[in-house]
Structure 1
Amino acid sequence: MFNSPLSSGVVGKALKNQIIDVNCIDIRLFTDDQHKSVDDYPFGGGGGMILKPEPIFKAVDHLKQKSALKETDPIILLSPQGRKLNQDQVEILATNERLVLICGRYDGVDERVVKHLVTDEISIGDYVISGGELAAMVLVDCLTRLQENALGSAESIKDDSHTSGLLQFPQFTRPSVFREWKVPDILLSGNHEEIKKYREVESIKRTLQRRPDLFHGVDIN
């Protein structure tokens, strides 16, 4: 599942240029039974299967023994019950040299993993997907973009939606007139100071229209 996103785009280039390193571990390698079972039925009944604690703990123990993983390195469970990921959190996580991402699966993970191994739970949104693998890919992509030399232009990050706490201003490219729709004159003026002001205003307007909740805690002069 990870092969395609790890071999293309920004992440693929970052791996090729050794800007980042991603090590995928199959927890089935850390099972003891002949069927390589990583899940079981929940105590107390109910539908679905629960990821067992043993292979997850053993996999992390293996990392600590065989790699430079430190006790202080974050161990993150991708889970719909975690705190919702945002750009501020991504920027904090990006300062870590190493992260361990545990992909939740099936109907959940044994609570002992959450209480005694994981240091943080993260959700990519208020919806349910088949497993934490997709969420892990999202987080890896977010983190990779913030690494030095990962993007062609570091300037492009500054104007991204959510980087400043607001949504990005509307963007246009050639042709200046498409059908009857014309690019705003200010963007064709060459007046960089006025363009900057225009974009700041448009960013505020777009955020107010689409995501007014983002204004909480944002300082707007």
Structure 2
Amino acid sequence: MRFDILTLFPELFAPFLASGVTRRAYDSGQVEVVFWNPRDHAEGNYRRVDDRPFGGGPGMVMMPEPLSACLDAALAARASVDPVPVVLFSPIGQTLCHADVEGWAASDGAVLVCGRYEGIDQRFIDSRVTHQISLGDFVLSGGEIAALALLDAVVRLQPGVLGDEASHIQDSFNPALDGLLDCPHYTRPEHWKGHAVPAPLMSGHHAQIERWRRDQRLSITAARRPELIDAARAAGRLDALDEKTLKKKL
């Protein structure tokens, strides 16, 4: 799997690639990350990559030619016979969800375009970008943080990256848990500042523990993300005990 990243600030990625459990994927070569700076493909002594917007207004706009030349170099280096997805992180993009992450995790990677300034010339977007992704209804200073978020979400799903292969299966939104939010977790000490670990978790009774966790997932999801309960119900993923729990909690 390979990700080529077009960014004016490749140095922002260095600590991320060398830290945490996900670094295993980069150290082993399981996931390759290559950086491309549009400034290296700009003309003139100042290697300018932005200019004032036509029509006036605040901010600067990234010019299409340096980005396009940079993208051409990245695509040529991949030497892929198949079309390579070109992803732009943008507030108008499709909001990233777990199903999308699973799709990218099973792919060969992509070219990630990190915009800056007021925006990117629309002609580059129209002619070169195949996907637009948003992290949510807010705006960042650039696409680097969004690219890091996508990388982290994708890399942790690769085999052997997490210490326990079952870890991500219990994550929020995972289809293995019917798309529900995760339950609370506890560790030592058993008592902390007047708060005890819930009794079911101390029982040693596997079925009782799993039922408690399921009830917690249902209750938390119903309170925080009721649309996920509706989706699970519509898909036939909730049984009579689940409905009883929801009715009791509601």
TM-score by length of 2: 0.84
Cα distance, 1:118 vs structure 2: 0.7
Runs (4 or more) in structure 1 with deviation over 6 Å come to none
Tell me, what secondary structure is at the counterpart of 2:109? coil
Cα distance, 1:10 vs structure 2: 2.6
**Cα RMSD, aligned residues only:** 1.4
Which residue of structure 2 lines up, in the alignment, with residue 96 of structure 1? Answer: 107
Which residue of structure 2 lines up, in the alignment, with residue 31 of structure 1? Answer: 42
Tell me, what secondary structure is at the counterpart of 1:99? strand
Which residue of structure 1 lines up, in the alignment, with residue 238 of structure 2? Answer: 220
The one-letter code of the counterpart of 2:122 is E
Which residue of structure 1 lines up, in the alignment, with residue 32 of structure 2? Answer: 21
Deviations 1:19-71 (A, max 9, x none): 21111111111111211111111111111111111111111111222223444
Does 2:30 correspond to 1:12?
no
CA distance in 2, matches of 1:49, 1:11: 35
Which residue of structure 2 lines up, in the alignment, with residue 113 of structure 1? Answer: 124
CA distance in 2, matches of 1:136, 1:123: 10
Cα distance, 1:119 vs structure 2: 0.7
CA distance in 1, matches of 2:95, 2:23: 26
2:141 pairs with 111, 119, 130, which one?
130
Cα distance, 1:213 vs structure 2: 2.9
CA distance in 1, matches of 2:169, 2:61: 41
In structure 2, runs of 5+ residues without a counterpart are 1-11, 240-250
Conserved? CA contact 1:105–1:132, under 8 Å: yes
Which residue of structure 1 lines up, in the alignment, with residue 174 of structure 2? Answer: 163
Give the stretch that moved more between structures: 122-131 or 4-13.
4-13
Cα distance, 1:216 vs structure 2: 4.1
In structure 1, runs of 5+ residues without a counterpart are none
Cα distance, 1:191 vs structure 2: 1.2
Conserved? CA contact 1:64–1:70, under 8 Å: no
Corresponding residue pairs, total: 221
CA distance in 1, matches of 2:40, 2:81: 22
Deviations 1:136-193 (A, max 9, x none): 0111101101111111111010111122321100111111111221111111111112
Which residue of structure 2 lines up, in the alignment, with residue 196 of structure 1? Answer: 210
The one-letter code of the counterpart of 2:68 is F
Conserved? CA contact 1:19–1:149, under 8 Å: no
CA distance in 1, matches of 2:142, 2:127: 21
Conserved? CA contact 2:22–2:162, under 8 Å: no
Conserved? CA contact 2:170–2:182, under 8 Å: yes
Does 2:88 correspond to 1:77?
yes
Conserved? CA contact 2:90–2:143, under 8 Å: yes
Does 2:221 correspond to 1:207?
yes
The one-letter code of the counterpart of 2:84 is D
Cα distance, 1:90 vs structure 2: 0.6
Tell me, what secondary structure is at the counterpart of 1:13? helix
Which residue of structure 2 lines up, in the alignment, with residue 49 of structure 1? Answer: 60
TM-score by length of 1: 0.95
Cα distance, 1:80 vs structure 2: 1.4
1:146 pairs with 147, 157, 165, which one?
157
Conserved? CA contact 1:20–1:144, under 8 Å: yes
CA distance in 1, matches of 2:171, 2:67: 36
1:185 pairs with 199, 204, 210, which one?
199
